[in-house]
Chain A
Amino acid sequence: MISIQLAIMIPFLAAIITPFFYKKLPRIHIGWFVLTVPIVLFISLIRFIPSIAEGKAYINTVQWIPSYGINFTTYVDGLSIIFGLLITGIGSLVILYSIYYLSAKESLHHFYIYLLLFMGAMLGVIFSDNLMVLYVFWELTSISSFLLIAFWYHRKKSRYGAQKALLITFGGGIAMLSSFLMIYIMTDTMSVREIISLIDTNHALFIPALLLLLIGAFTKSAQYPFHIWLPDAMEAPTPVSAYLHSATMVKAGIYLVARFTPVFGSHEVWFWLVSSIGLVTLFWGSFNAVRQIDLKALLAYSTISQLGLIMSLFGIGSIALQLGASENSIIYTQASFAALFHLVNHSTFKGALFMVVGIVDHEVGTRDIRRLGGLMAFMPVSFTIALIGSFSMAGLPPFNGFLSKEMFFEAVVNVSQSDIFSIHVFGLLFPIIAWIASVFTFIYCMIIVFKTFFGPYRPEKLEHEAHEAKVGMLIPPIILAALIIGIFIFPNMLGDYILRPGLASIFPSLSLEGSYEPISIWHGFNPALWMTIGVVVIGIVIFRIQSRRKSLYIPPGKWTFDQLYNSTLEQIELRGFKITSFYMTGSLRDYLVYIFLFLMVSVGGIFLFTDAFTFDMSSNAPITLYESLIVFTMMAAVIAIIFAKSRITAILLNGVLGYSIALLFVLFRAPDLALTQLVVETVTTALFLLCFYFLPEKEKEDTAQKTKSVNVIVSILVGIIFVSVALSVQGGKLFETISAYFENAYELAGAHNIVNAILGDFRAFDTMLEVIVLFIGGIGVYTLIKLKARKEAENIENQ
């Protein structure tokens, strides 16, 4: 048996090779090469079944990031093998179908690369035992689904659908990631198997982790109210819709719920959320499916509804964990069993239906049920498959949907009689909602068959003359239709070998030996059968009424989740733009105000908060008369600069300031500083004068009084804060200065001048960099003057 790691990697490797085949062998349809991948995987997975049916499980680890506990651990048990077989099996059929569906003019290599990426990612999701690896593959499925939905990227609707699917499933993915991290905090392990035994239901993070995990599962599985992306994902090519959006990707959320049932399932919140959201989705999906006019949209809503059914069954099944290993828990494990059973059934009939819709679309050129009709005589095989698929979905014998629907009814009837989790309050709602939803399900199944294949044939409304599809296109749905009937006739073969081990991995703590209850086609006159008969009768009546009156429903109004999604996106963009344009004014003065405000708050605030403003004047040197005279001169000059009328006055006053500072340096015994300061001041003045030649006369500033007063307040506050900070720092010296060391300048560096010794010897690195700064400044000025944009490239800044 090949290692599962290899099996997961094969699609990725094939995705790398595919484009080479496409380029080198242009005459052979590349799908034939791709088709080998899922077939090989399917066969290798089938070989696991006998040993897994005996209760074995295969664990295999490849180290990835062992220091963080992230390893590529795969775990093959009953649950994952069901999904593995679905992914590879349906995958083979879909690829076979796509060979005939897509014409050679499409960019086939892209299509098959995305599809293989998706297949590998999906296999990774279901076989991973490590949370982080699971998450990585989970996001890979989202990305490849995004790519596949937008396969016809030149269509606006495709891009819209892809973006919607990506945003919603990524949102859920992030929620799931946070849940995984919480689980890691609670249990200190990344392995799903170990988490089951280590989880602590009383931990504070238990409920948040549960909720976030469910958000991840619900978004992926298109549960209410996150279902809105699925109908828009129908812009993808039909093989993609058949594969991703009915059989595999949307079941990743179901897989997650099933996989984590032993972790969270014993909690009341889990039961209520999973089962009630499932039921709401079931009802809402089937209710909306009836009013669709596009066959694919109808199937999308029916997928939503069926996924809700499976989800609610898993929710009901989780009661068994609460009851523990007892006789009572068996009827609830039966609900989970029904969920697994319906999961397989749904994949078969929904895959077949999508393929039939694709055939109709491909051969006739439309999927609009208002234009279709009377195709039975032209497309007998497709009609037969559609009939089988629809009746199976409606839950009629002799198709497999009947069996799972019966088990579903039994489960909801059983749960309504349960007495834990205070179900008895709302218990009766379970069978009622389920029954109403089933009536709708029956109606839309009838619509698929009767509106498409019966009634008058109207060739003038169709784009092509109706005729039967190519054989290659019909083979995959025929295989699926055969499975639908086959599973009905021999349900226990599937049940015993594949589904029971799956059930055992959902309930590892219960011994399911005694709970063996084979699926029976005829199970006597029990409530479930009466409910089915009621569904059929009422369904036929409503279908007849609805055919006569054009629409039974009011059209979808303003208050839909699509509307909410669209307006949310719009509002986020709008508000974001508004907020940004509110503070990003493009005015330098505003930004300076923000910076100074931040300085005031951070520096001044922290000093105030920590009580750091201390003024200790005791160690200050006495102030001499000249110093105060110079400072007085400087203050006068500074105040005069602010009120200066002409530029030249301002610049002269600035020169006074600079020379006064030089004099201060002299007074404080810093000859080198004084020298440099004098030279720099003179050069700066000269540079200012250079610039002024190009500037207009200083105009009287026409700023508003409010802006001016803000400027004054900000500048005064900044001045006060920094003066007080400087005084506080001066007052409290923590350490002796290190200047004593530099007094050895002559011994250590052979220099009489300490300042020069520090600049050129002790701290010469700084000097070097300062030289570089000057160098860069010089080059910058030179380039600014010399390199001017040519005339034709005038708007070089706005590019």
Chain B
Amino acid sequence: MIGIMLKISLTLFALAIVISLYRIIRGPSIPDRVIAMDMIGVNLISAIAAISILLNTKAYLEVILILGILAFISTIALSKFIERGVIIEHKRDR
């Protein structure tokens, strides 16, 4: 039963990724795309969690954690890039 549930949820996650991909490709403004990218990351976290339950392994827990951090960092980096044009600023008083 749980196997079927997990497979259905996986399929839904994949569909969500495809939909966010559409937003990235189409997506009239850059922030739209960045949000879509963030959404893909979150969906990936959930999908990997579902897969690791399905495969009955703990090996992917680190992947989930890392992905959580990275999705955050990349979203921040992209936002900064959009806002300022740079992601690492120089100190002014140099």
- Which of the listed residues A632, A640, A689 has the most CB atoms from chain B within 10 Å of its own CB? A689
Does chain B have a CB within 8 A of A756? no
Task: Bits for B22-49, please: 1 = Cβ < 8 Å to A, else 0.
Answer: 0011000010011011001100100110
Contact residue among A632, A637, A640, A678 (Cβ-Cβ distance under 8 Å from B67): A678
Secondary structure of the B side of the interface? helix
A659 with B63, Cβ < 8 A, contacts A649-B33, A689-B87 known: no
Bound together, the chains give a CA A685 to CA B80 distance in angstroms of 13
Does chain B have a CB within 8 A of A667? yes
- Which of the listed residues B36, B57, B70, B88 has the most CB atoms from chain A within 10 Å of its own CB? B70
Does chain B have a CB within 8 A of A559? no
Does chain B have a CB within 8 A of A41? no
Does chain B have a CB within 8 A of A552? no
Does chain A have a CB within 8 A of B15? yes
Contact B70 A693 (CB under 8 A): no
Contact A633 B25 (CB under 8 A): no
Contact A637 B14 (CB under 8 A): no
Contact residue among A629, A637, A667, A675 (Cβ-Cβ distance under 8 Å from B66): A675
Bound together, the chains give a CA A666 to CA B14 distance in angstroms of 14
A666 with B77, Cβ < 8 A, contacts A652-B24, A653-B24, A671-B63 known: no
Contact B21 A678 (CB under 8 A): no
Contact B63 A633 (CB under 8 A): no
Least CB distance from B52 to A in Å reads: 8
Contact B40 A659 (CB under 8 A): yes
Contact B21 A689 (CB under 8 A): no
Contact A686 B74 (CB under 8 A): yes
Least CB distance from B28 to A in Å reads: 11
Does chain B have a CB within 8 A of A682? yes
Least CB distance from A157 to B in Å reads: 65
- Residues of chain A touching chain B, judged by Cβ–Cβ distance below 8 Å, are 625-626, 629-630, 632-633, 636-637, 640, 646, 648-649, 652-653, 655-656, 659-660, 662-663, 666-667, 669, 671, 674-675, 678-679, 681-682, 685-686, 689-690, 692-693
Could you list 8 further interchain pairs (A-B, Cβ under 8 angstroms) beyond the known A626-B10, A648-B30, A679-B70?
A630-B17, A652-B78, A656-B24, A659-B44, A662-B67, A674-B63, A682-B70, A689-B78
Contact B11 A671 (CB under 8 A): no
Q: How many pairs, one residue from A and one from B, have CB atoms within 8 Å of each other in the complex? A: 106
Least CB distance from A367 to B in Å reads: 78
Contact residue among A666, A679, A686 (Cβ-Cβ distance under 8 Å from B60): A666
A666 with B37, Cβ < 8 A, contacts A633-B17, A686-B77, A690-B88 known: no
A678 with B25, Cβ < 8 A, contacts A625-B11, A659-B41, A686-B77 known: no
CB-based nearest B residue for A682: B70
Contact residue among A655, A669, A690 (Cβ-Cβ distance under 8 Å from B87): A690
Task: Bits for B50-94, please: 1 = Cβ < 8 Å to A, else 0.
Answer: 011001010110110011001001100110011001111000000
Bound together, the chains give a CA A685 to CA B25 distance in angstroms of 17
Contacts of B57 in A (CB 8 A): 669
Bound together, the chains give a CA A650 to CA B33 distance in angstroms of 11
Contact B25 A632 (CB under 8 A): no
Contacts of B77 in A (CB 8 A): 685-686, 689
Least CB distance from A745 to B in Å reads: 15
Does chain A have a CB within 8 A of B18? yes
- Which of the listed residues B25, B40, B59, B82 has the most CB atoms from chain A within 10 Å of its own CB? B25
Contact B51 A666 (CB under 8 A): yes
Contact A640 B25 (CB under 8 A): yes
Least CB distance from B33 to A in Å reads: 5
Bound together, the chains give a CA A671 to CA B52 distance in angstroms of 10
A678 with B81, Cβ < 8 A, contacts A625-B11, A655-B74 known: no
5 A-B pairs with C-beta separation under 8 A: A637-B21, A659-B44, A662-B63, A674-B63, A689-B77
Contacts of A674 in B (CB 8 A): 48, 60, 63
Bound together, the chains give a CA A648 to CA B77 distance in angstroms of 12
Bound together, the chains give a CA A625 to CA B9 distance in angstroms of 12
Contacts of A652 in B (CB 8 A): 24, 33-34, 36-37, 78
Contacts of B73 in A (CB 8 A): 682, 686
CB-based nearest A residue for B41: A659
CB-based nearest A residue for B47: A663
Bound together, the chains give a CA A607 to CA B25 distance in angstroms of 38
A649 with B25, Cβ < 8 A, contacts A626-B11, A663-B47, A682-B73 known: yes
Bound together, the chains give a CA A678 to CA B67 distance in angstroms of 7
Bound together, the chains give a CA A678 to CA B82 distance in angstroms of 22
CB-based nearest B residue for A686: B77
Bound together, the chains give a CA A659 to CA B39 distance in angstroms of 12
The 6 nearest A-B residue pairs measured at CB: A629-B14, A671-B59, A640-B25, A682-B70, A689-B81, A674-B63
Contact A656 B66 (CB under 8 A): no
Bound together, the chains give a CA A681 to CA B34 distance in angstroms of 15
CB-based nearest A residue for B30: A648
